[in-house]
A and B are shown apart, each in its own frame.
Chain A
Amino acid sequence: TQLLEQSPQFLSIQEGENLTVYCNSSSVFSSLQWYRQEPGEGPVLLVTVVTGGEVKKLKRLTFQFGDARKDSSLHITAAQPGDTGLYLCAGSIQGAQKLVFGQGTRLTINP
């Protein structure tokens, strides 16, 4: 059973377009993190959101945590080829030490 569902699983768009990746669950998370993973490397943390409704921006990337802390989204404006990679959301459940990862969204930005 996948606790965190990411959509879409694959996305291929042209440079300059906008996109949104979704991360949904029926469980409540005390925090949610987004990671990006390049081939042959481990995931690298992009952002952590903790408060329901929280919005964080990282240059052209906007992250939002749902009001009920069950879902999150990642929006990229004017995508660039350097944004290509596997984007992973990961949630932390209150009282648990582990992170639960979604299956990832493989993003390809074509020049």
Chain B
Amino acid sequence: DAGVTQSPTHLIKTRGQQVTLRCSPKSGHDTVSWYQQALGQGPQFIFQYYEEEERQRGNFPDRFSGHQFPNYSSELNVNALLLGDSALYLCASSIGRRGYSPLHFGNGTRLTVT
């Protein structure tokens, strides 16, 4: 049973460019959440997708956008990259939208912006 898979594992981009990160949830999970983890910090919530709609959003600018597909997989898009966007981007899947539904995390995409 595959867990949460993310691609790519590493990515290097230049300031001003755009990036798309991908996530396939754990089998049986229908909700995908995205988190940004800066070096030495805990993950910060970006947004959550359920039934192909953004259900809740954290304190991130509109440069961060996402999408969920009918098969529950998801994409995170970041436009006009800044140096400060360099971080580990984690995708987590769960069942339903309950706050205490356990999250299953992927191993993340390490984004470096130069």
Residues of A within 8 A of B (CB): 4, 6, 30-31, 33, 35, 40-45, 48, 50, 88, 90, 92-104
Contact = CB atoms under 8 A, between A and B. Distances in A.
Contacts, number: 72
Nearest to B9: A40
A42 B99 contact: no
A100 B107 CA distance: 19
B66 interface: no
A6, A96, A98, A104: most-surrounded residue (chain B CB, <10 A): A98
B107 A40 contact: yes
Contacts of A92: 99-100
A100 B43 CA distance: 8
Contacts of A6: 42
Contacts of A104: 40-42
A101 B55 CA distance: 19
A42 B107 contact: yes
B35 to A, nearest CB: 8
Interface residues of B, number: 27
Helix, strand, loop or mixed for chain A's interface? Answer: loop
B105 A48 contact: no
A15 to B, nearest CB: 25
Interface in B25-69: 33, 35, 40-45, 48, 50, 55-56, 58
A70 B102 CA distance: 19
Given A42-B107, A43-B105, A97-B48, A30 B41 contact: no
B90 interface: yes
Contacts of A99: 33, 45, 99, 103
A99 B90 CA distance: 13
A48 B45 contact: no
Nearest to B105: A42
A102 B33 CA distance: 17
A93 B100 contact: no
